Every structure is written in structure tokens, then in C-alpha cells.
Structure 1
Amino acid sequence: MTPRPPAPVPRAAVAWGLLYAAVQSAWAVTGTTVPLTPEVAYPPAAQFLLAAFALVAAVACAAVTRPLRHRARVAATAVLAAALPVFAAGALSLPVHLVTLLSGAGVESATGLACVLLDAAGAAVLAHGLTTGLRRLRGRCARCGRAHPHAGGGPLTHPGPSTATRRTRTAAALLLCGVLPWAGVKTIWTLGGDALGVTAERWHAANAGASGAARALASVGVDVTVLAALLAVVLTLGLLHRWGTVFPRWTPLVAGQRVPRTLPLVPAWAVGTGLAAYGSLLVVYASLRALGVLPSAASPDGFTRAGLTWMILFGGLAFAGLGYGLLLSARSYAARTRPACAPPPAPVAGGPGRAVVRP
């Protein structure tokens, strides 16, 4: 019998489902505006549907951790497979909200941000449940995902620090190079140069409403969105190298200890998925715009039509490069840090004070 995952997982799934259903239902009943896109809000019917779906998915997530018949386990896993893309899609705009917050521009919609955070939390919990369900359907250990001969129950053993393969590091480096054109253009503007037909004066005028922190960074040639991209680059490098698996010496209290694998993996999966999807859409849009398949909209902030197309393409390459780089490095990190179940302790024979451990 395979060991069950830790008890907090099903409890967290049920707690998330109840909270999500309560919040969405309250918004629907009170007529609170929750933006789906900047121009479109969630209709109340969709909010009630999402609330019901969250409850069903939460029950399925808790059920896959229990002893079930094969058909029931297949049904619960199928529910999770259908629910995960729904709530993951609702969390795709999480990177945009994070960049907005880091820039000091404030929150455009508190309900929109709350909805995205709830979707992101749900996607994380449901992904764990789906992984558990798939492992059990394949006859593998629910905790470590391996087909070990023993029944499990022993402690989890974690592999030592390691570095990703050279092929993975090279592929991630090439993906991260997609940031260079976009970051280069923005740096030129912040340093007072002209690029893509837009002068530095026009660029600064268009961003006059930015926060004080953003203006202070721009005064020394640092664009706040480029700084946010650098944070994603650092996270990617940490996932690829040994120093991302052990806390460094200068870290108080936890120096030299193993980094909990979910600490970098959760933001990498969440942010990487959103950036990859958004960047891919921008690349497709810019390509269709350049080919004349899509009409060229009005060019704001002094951009020429060609200049705006190039900037959209540069942004798409940057976001897609960061997103796919994060996903690739997270996949490598997850495989390299994946724990294994140790064999259970050997049975003990003998009376009190005379216990003998059998080999």
C-alpha cells in the first residue's frame, strides 16, 4: 500500500475550495465588479459556476489521497485534470500584477488581484492533487512518485546539491537572451537616448505618472520592469545551480540548510506559466501585425507603426524567454531535488529493555 501524502494537503484543498466558493458567491450576490480583462468583468453566472467547480475540485483533491476503488480514483483524477487548466488560466495575469506592485503603481483592482491570487493558490493545490492521482493510477508511491519495492512509510531522503546538465543550462541561457532587445531599448530610453522612433523626452513624459521609486530608478538608468525581469533571471539561475538548493552562508538562522523545494518551484511555475503564455501571444500578435494579417492600431506615445510592432515583438520575446526559461529550469530543479522514500524501519522483537532490531 502506498503511503498517503501529508494530511495538510487535503485539508488545504478543502479550505481553499470553501474560501473560493464563499468569495465568488459573495461577489456575485453583492454585484461586486471583478475584472476578467481590463474591459470585461465576470458575469454573476460565471462566478457561481466557478464557485461550484472549486468545491467539486477541492473534494476530488482530497479524495485522491484516500483509499479508493479504481473507477473512483480515475473519476477524481479526471475532475482535477479538467479543473487545473481553468484555475491556472485565471492566474496567468499574476506576473502583470507583480510587476505593477513592484513598480509602486498601486493596485488597479483589489478584487481582480484577490481573484488572481485565489486562482493561483487553487492551481498550486490542484496540481499537487493531480500529481498524486496520476501517481496512484500508475501504481507509484504517492509521496515520491517512484516505484520502490518496499511499502514506504520511512522518512523522505533528499539528494544532495547538484547543478543542471550543460544542455539544460545552455537552453535556459538562450531563452534568457530574449530579454536583451526589450531591456536594451528601455535602458536606452531611461539613459536619455532615442530608440524605435521614440525620444527619451517622449518616453519620460508618457511615464510621468509613475511612482517615486520608479522615477528614482529611471534617473540612474534602471527601468523598474527591467529590474523585475532581472529578479526572474536570478530565480532561473538559482534553479539551475547548486546555490539554489542550499541557503548561502550570509542567510541568518538557515545558513547551510537545504532550501525547501517548493519555495522556488511555486513562484517559478506560477510566474513562468503566465509569462510564457503572455509572451507567446505577443510574439504571435506582432508577427501577424507585421505580415498585415491584423490591422495596425493607432500607435501611442510617439511610436511609429513599425516601431510599435518591434516593441511588441521585443516584449513578447522577453516575456516568453523568461517564462520558458523559468519552466525549463523548474523542471530540472524538480527532478534534481526530488526526494525518495526510505525503507520503513525493520520490525523490532523482544521485551522492554531487550529490543532486538531484526536485519
Structure 2
Amino acid sequence: MSEVKQAPTTIPWQHRWGRQPRIAGGAALGWAVVQSIVALACVWAGTSGTTVGGDQPPVGLAWFAAGVAVLGGVSAAAAVRGHEGRTVRGLLWAACALSTVTGFSLLMDVVGLLFAHGVDNVAAAVLHTLGLLGAVLLAATSHARRPAICARCGTVHTAVVRPHPSHAPRRVRLVAYGGILAFVPYIGMKMVWALGGTFAGISGAELLRISERNGASGVWLTLESWGVDGTVLLAALGIFLLFGLIRPWGQIFPRWTLGLSGRSVPRWLPLAPALIGATTLVPYGLGGVGYLALVSMGAASMRLGDSPTLQDALLMGWVGHVGFAVYGLALLTASRSYWLRTRPVC
């Protein structure tokens, strides 16, 4: 009988995050403490009439964030103490999902910082950021494992062996193509306005005046004057990212990447923005679709804003939220496929 090799007592630092629950759980526990303090401060400020950055903190969101922090902190503390059963992992994933809801509109805050007058509410933006950070840390804690002996070679792996670059499965590619097609109407709507046309009762010139009135940034206004919409550029980057997740060149830098050609793409490079985008767009898009459905049935009211009619406001809402929801789901599906296809092998 062949002798089983002994597992090393230590593993490289790059493996510890994914394998050591104490590291990931400790970070998640620290996040829970910080979010609890920030959320309770927002509750106090909102109920006492104190403003943050000129805006009153959202009390409802703050209470929700505080509850998520408590749930995440308790489950992370259990993971740190060595409890790795299904109950703890279930609580971690539940807290992760709720934390994702807390940060659902972070992407909109980023767009506002880049191209508009800034975020709509400073306290809400902070809670959105903490919510998405908590989702990442809780997912990492749930995924963490203690060092285990490989069933094939009898050791704890101390070197990363990347698999050969591969396409995503056909079903995943079809889902990705569907997400891209769902984004086309949104891109078309934005380009019509950027080129001076009229859509949903609003002309490009009128939209430019609205942007100036709302304090849009110089970058945004310059791009609009050139016939380019900033969100279209972000959508193009999102489509590029989605292709990278399903194509082999997302794992090995292709020839057109000067100086990097032939090198392995770090897994975090596409996965980090993909997961941030998915966890933001999916709840934002699905929540918007549900709200628009209620408005269409007459079960909820909707502010028209700058839209001339309710039908125009609904049209813009459907184009945007359906595109966000479907693309976000496609991005989530492609990210999972990329994660599985790039796992180190024995």
C-alpha cells in the first residue's frame, strides 16, 4: 500500500483567503461592526433631523442595513469559531443576499459621481457601498474551507495550476448573448438622445438642458456635445466584460494586449467587476421591473419627472430596467461559469 503524503502545516498566503474561514470571517465580522455603527448613526441622524452632506439619511434603509449587519456578524462569528455546518453556511448566504439588496443601487451612485452632479444621498451611498462590501466578505466566508488533503495527490495544494483556456458551455453562451441583446434597446435609446433625436417624448436638446440644470459634470456634457452618451460607454465595457467571461481570451491575454500577450489573466480581474455589476444590476433591474408592473396595473403611482406623460415614463423605465435585469442575470451566470472553468486543478 502506497504511503499517503502528509499535508504541509502551512499554505501560501494567496491560498489563505479562500481556505481559512478565520481570515474571511474576521474581515466579515469587522464589516458587520462598522456597518452597524454607520447604520445606527444614520437612524439617529434621520430621526433627529440632522443632515449628512445636505441630505437627510434614509432611516428605512439604515434599519435594514443594521439588521443585515447583525445577521452577518453572528454568522461570521460562528464561522470564526470553527462552525462550518449547513446552518452557518445558510445564514451566511442569507446575509449575503440581504446585503446585496442593501447595495443594490451602488452602480447608479458611481455613475452619478463620474458623470452627474454627484450622489443623490451621501448617507445612502455609504450604506450601498458597505452593503456590497459585506456581500463580498460574507460570500468569501461561506466559501472558505480549512486546508484539506486532495483526494488525487494526497497533499494540500501549494501551487496554482490553471486549466487550459476554454469557452463557456453553450447554454451559458446563449444566456450571455441574451443579456447583450437585452441591452441593445437601452443603448439605442441613449444614442438617439445623444445624436439629437427624440424618444419617449424627450428630445436630445431638451435632455441636454435637463442635464445642465441638474448640475451634470463637464465630462458628461462634453461627451453629450460630441454625440456620445457616458452610460453607453459603460454599457460597451459591460458587453466587453461579458464576452471575456465566456471566451478563452478572458483567461489568457490575447495578442492585441501589448506586453501581456500569452500571460494568464488573474481570476479576480474579470470576476471583481462582474460580481459588483451583477449584484448591483440584478436587484436594481428586477426591483424596477416589479415596480413598473405595479404601476402598469394601477396598483402604484409613479412620478413623471421630466417625462411628458405616464406612458413615456413607463416606456423609458421598461427599456432601462429590463435591460439591467437581463444583463445582470447573464453576467451572474457567466461569472459562475468563469469561476468554475478557472479553478486550479490537481
TM-score range (shorter-chain normalised) is 0.7 to 0.9
Q: Which residue of 2 aligns with 1:153?
A: 156
Note the C-alpha offset of 1:231: 1.6
Q: 1:105 to 1:325 in 2, by over 3 A?
A: farther
CA distance in structure 2 between the aligned counterparts of 1:46 and 1:56, rounded to whole angstroms: 16
1:324 aligns with 2:329: yes
Counterpart AA for 1:188: V
User: Residue 244 of structure 2: which of 238, 243, 260 is its match?
Assistant: 238
One-letter code aligned to 2:252? V
* AA aligned opposite 2:141: G
List runs of 5+ in structure 1 lacking aligned partners.
Answer: 343-359
Asked if 1 retains the 8 angstrom alpha-carbon contact of 2:61 and 2:102, the reply is no
Counterpart check, 1:339 vs 2:323 = no
Whether contact under 8 Å (1:286, 1:310) holds in the other structure is no
Question: Residue in 2 aligned with 1:222?
Answer: 228
Residue 284 of structure 1 is matched in structure 2 by: 290
Contact preservation (8 Å) 1:57, 1:80 = yes
Q: Any idea what SS the aligned residue of 1:229 has?
A: helix
Change in CA separation of 1:191 and 1:142 when aligned onto 2, cut-off 3 Å: farther
Q: How many angstroms apart in 2 are the aligned matches of 1:241 and 1:43?
A: 39
Question: Aligned residue for 2:118?
Answer: 106
Q: Take 2:69 and 2:294, find their aligned partners in 1: how far apart are those partners?
A: 37
Residue of structure 2 equivalent to 1:186 = 190
Q: CA deviation at 1:260?
A: 1.9
- Residue type matched to 1:236 in 2? L
**1:356 alignment partner in structure 2:** none
| Secondary structure of the structure 2 residue equivalent to 1:177 | helix
**Which of 288, 301, 311 is equivalent to 1:306?**
311
Taking the aligned partners of 2:171 and 2:87, their CA distance within structure 1 comes to 38
Q: Which amino acid is the alignment partner of residue 98 of structure 1?
A: V
Task: Give distance in 2, aligned partners of 1:21 and 1:90.
Answer: 16
Q: Please tell me the residue identity of whatever aligns with 2:173.
A: R
Cα distance change of structure 1 residues 234 and 102 upon mapping to structure 2, 3 Å threshold: farther
Kindly provide the amino acid, as one letter, of the partner of residue 129 in structure 1.
T
3-state SS of paired residue (1:7): helix
Aligned to 1:294, what secondary structure does the other structure show? coil
Number of residue pairs aligned between Structure 1 and Structure 2: 324
Amino acid at match of 2:75: A
**In the alignment, what sits opposite 1:345?**
none
* Alignment check: 8 A CA contact 2:65 2:127 kept: no
The amino acid of 1:326's aligned partner reads L
Distance 1:213 1:332, change over 3 A: same
Instruction: Give the whole-Å Cα distance in 1 for the aligned partners of 2:307 and 2:135.
Output: 40
> In the alignment, is the contact (CA less than 8 A) between 2:116 and 2:216 conserved in 1?
yes
**Residues 74-107 of structure 1: per-residue CA shift (max 9 Å, x gap):** 4432432332222222222222222223325323
Report matched runs for 1:40-51 at 5 Å. Answer: 40-41=58-59, 49-51=67-69
Offset, 1:270 = 2.6
Of 208, 219, 226 in structure 2, the residue corresponding to residue 213 of structure 1 is 219
Match of 2:27 among 6, 15, 21: 15
Q: Deviations over 1:308-352 (max 9, x none)?
A: 111111011211122012112112211211222x3xxxxxxxxxx
d(CA) in 2 for partners of 1:46, 1:305:
31
Distance 1:247 1:104, change over 3 A: farther
Deviations 1:157-208 (A, max 9, x none): 2101112234322321122111122221221112111112222232222211
Residues 121 and 285 of structure 1: is their aligned pair in 2 closer, same or farther, counting only changes over 3 Å?
A: closer
The answer as to whether partners of 2:109 and 2:118 remain within 8 angstroms in 1 is no
Instruction: Give the structure-2-normalised TM-score.
Output: 0.80
Give the aligned residue type for 1:180: V
Q: How far apart are the structure 1 equivalents of 2:189 and 2:16?
A: 50
Moved more, 234-243 or 151-160: 151-160
Q: Kindly tell me: are residues 78 and 172 of structure 1, through their superposed partners in 2, closer, same or farther at Cα, counting changes over 3 Å?
A: closer
Partner of 2:77: 59
Largest Rg, 1 or 2: 1
**Contact 1:104-1:211 at 8 Å conserved across structures:** yes
Q: Which residue in 2 is equivalent to 1:347? A: none
In 2, distance between residues paired with 1:124 and 1:149?
30
CA drift of 1:55 comes to 3.0
Distance in 1 between the 2:135 and 2:126 partners?
14
Higher mean alpha-carbon deviation, 314-323 vs 13-22, is at 13-22
1:85 aligns with 2:97: yes
Structure 1 stretch 214-223 or stretch 281-290: which is displaced more? 281-290
Among residues 264, 270, 278, which one is paired with 1:258 in the alignment? 264
Q: What's the TM-score, normalizing by structure 1?
A: 0.77
Q: Residue 279 of structure 2 aligns to which amino acid in structure 1?
A: T
- Deviation of 1:121 (Å): 2.2
Partner residue in 1 for 2:173: 169
Q: Please give the alpha-carbon distance, in whole angstroms, between the structure 1 residues aligned to 2:120 and 2:206.
A: 24
Percent of pairs identical after alignment?
Answer: 30
Residue 293 (structure 2) pairs with residue 275 (structure 1): no
Asked if structure 2 preserves the Cα contact closer than 8 Å seen for 1:60 and 1:77, the reply is: no
Aligned-residue offset at 1:211? 0.6
Give the aligned residue type for 2:201. G
RMSD after superposition: 3.3
